[in-house]
Structure formats: structure tokens, C-alpha cells
């Protein structure tokens, strides 16, 4: 049976504000699951899944297993570049979010979908791989590295077009993916992206030689997520 999901494009939003928004919903779903598992009464109504799509002002985020050594500039230099820095509770190391990037935050109950965390990440990757393919670009996974990559074949220097970092508790997810569309890639020069020093980053704009329509790409991403997860949009 399809998994019901509420889709919300929340536009341009500060990272902390968007994080609080998804964290609030994440906790509501978990608290209800715990109450039901313990046979406790709860007034918390059942929640559908939610997909937030958002664009952030310049910000660097560090995962709980990451090292701040992978941020290559100090906090004064961050201010001169109009960028913020946050430690987060997601997996992974450091990444950049900013204008021209589509960030997706799925708050899904994987038990309702019937999959585990590894399969969830694989399906996120597949949705982006399918989206990139619509533009005639071959993307793939890279062994021992999450995300979506170009030139992942042995002997080439892979370039990441979409980063993935998630948090899960009681099979409920938050955080998600960051897909470079018209992203200013120079901001990646100030970090070791995802902790790597031997891999590059790219965007649809760079690969295709011009600005891309983000609304068209959001629709493709939305449709491909629906297909790979068997979702039912309720709005």
C-alpha cells in the first residue's frame, strides 16, 4: 500500500528555522509511536509522512561524526562570506547549503513503508540518479560513500552532485539530501566536502553549461521520490 505524504515547498528559509520545523514533526511522530508501543493513551494524532523542500542561505553543517578540521576557514572568515556554521545531529561530515541548491527533508516512518535505513538511503540516491538522467547525465553511487556521483568509475576523480545525510530514530527519518542545481560551487572550496580531500563537487548548471529551472527539477525530484518509495501525495 502506498505511503501517504504531505509535500511542502517552504521556499528560502534559515537553516535553524527549517531544522526546528522538521525536528518538531520528527518528535511528534516518535512520541506517538513510543506511547502506542507502551500501550499508553495519547492525544497525538497520526501523522502522514512529510517532504519539505527548501533553499537555505549560505550555511555549513557538520554531522555528529564529523570533524571541524574539515572547515577550512575560521568564524571571522565565515562572516565575511555571509555564511553560518551549525553542528547537527545527522550522520556524515561537513557539507554546504546555499542558494541554487534543492534541499529535501523527508520525515518518513520507515516501518510504515516497510524498509530499513540502508534501503531508504539507496532509494533517495535512486530518485536523484533518475532526475539527473532526465538531462542526459549518467550518475551513480560510489562504493563506501553516500550520495550521488558523476564519474564514479575506477580511475576517475568522482564529483558529487547530491549529498545525503540523515538521522533516524524508531525508524523515523529527518534531514535528507542536498542537490546542487545552480549552486555557487566556490563555497565548497572552504571545506573538505563530506570529509573528502580526493573527490570533487559539481552541479547541474556546471554539467549542462547554463542555469537550470529549479521548479522543473523540483517536480522531477518529487515525481521520482513518489516512484521509488511508492508515495501518495495528499496535497
Angle at CA of residue 15, ends 29 and 232, nearest 5°:
40
DSSP state of 188: G
Q: Any idea of the CA torsion for 212, 216, 218, 224, to the nearest 10 degrees?
A: -120
- Give dist(CA 226, CA 232) in Å, integer: 7
- Give dist(CA 31, CA 177) in Å, integer: 25
Inter-residue contact 19 to 88 (CB < 8 Å) = yes
Angle at CA of residue 144, ends 141 and 150, nearest 5°:
30
**Active-site residue, from 18, 71, 194, 221:** 194
For cell 513518489, name the residue.
226
H or E stretch including 128?
helix 117-133
- Give dist(CA 162, CA 177) in Å, integer: 7
> Does the annotation mark 194 as catalytic?
yes
Q: Any idea of the CA torsion for 37, 41, 44, 50, to the nearest 10 degrees?
A: 20
Catalytic positions, please? 194
Amino acid at each position: 500500500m502506498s505511503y501517504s505524504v504531505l509535500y511542502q515547498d517552504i521556499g528560502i528559509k534559515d537553516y535553524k528555522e527549517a531544522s526546528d520545523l522538521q525536528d518538531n514533526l520528527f518528535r511528534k511522530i516518535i512520541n506517538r509511536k513510543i506511547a502506542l508501543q507502551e500501550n499508553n493513551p495519547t492525544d497525538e494524532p497520526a501523522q502522514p509522512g512529510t517532504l519539505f523542500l527548501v533553499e537555505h542561505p549560505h550555511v555549513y553543517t557538520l554531522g555528529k561524526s564529523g570533524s571541524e578540521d574539515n572547515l577550512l576557514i575560521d568564524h571571522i572568515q565565515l562572516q565575511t562570506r555571509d555564511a553560518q556554521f551549525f553542528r547537527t545531529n545527522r550522520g556524515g561530515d561537513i557539507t554546504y547549503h546555499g542558494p541554487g541548491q534543492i534541499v529535501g527533508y523527508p520525515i518518513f516512518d520507515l516501518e510504515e513503508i516497510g524498509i530499513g535505513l540502508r534501503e531508504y538511503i539507496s532509494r533517495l540516491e535512486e530518485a536523484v540518479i533518475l532526475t539527473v538522467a532526465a538531462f542526459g547525465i549518467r550518475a551513480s553511487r560510489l562504493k563506501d560513500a553516500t550520495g550521488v556521483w558523476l564519474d564514479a568509475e575506477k580511475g576517475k576523480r568522482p564529483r558529487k552532485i547530491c549529498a545525503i545525510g540523515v538521522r533516524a530514530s524508531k525508524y523515523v527519518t529527518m534531514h535528507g539530501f542536498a542537490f546542487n542545481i545552480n549552486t555557487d560551487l566556490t563555497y565548497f572550496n572552504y571545506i573538505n566536502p563530506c570529509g573528502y580531500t580526493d573527490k570533487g563537487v559539481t552541479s547541474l548548471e556546471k554539467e549542462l553549461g547554463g542555469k537550470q529551472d529549479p521548479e522543473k527539477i523540483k517536480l522531477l525530484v518529487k515525481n521520482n521520490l513518489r516512484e521509488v518509495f511508492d508515495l501518495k501525495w495528499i496535497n
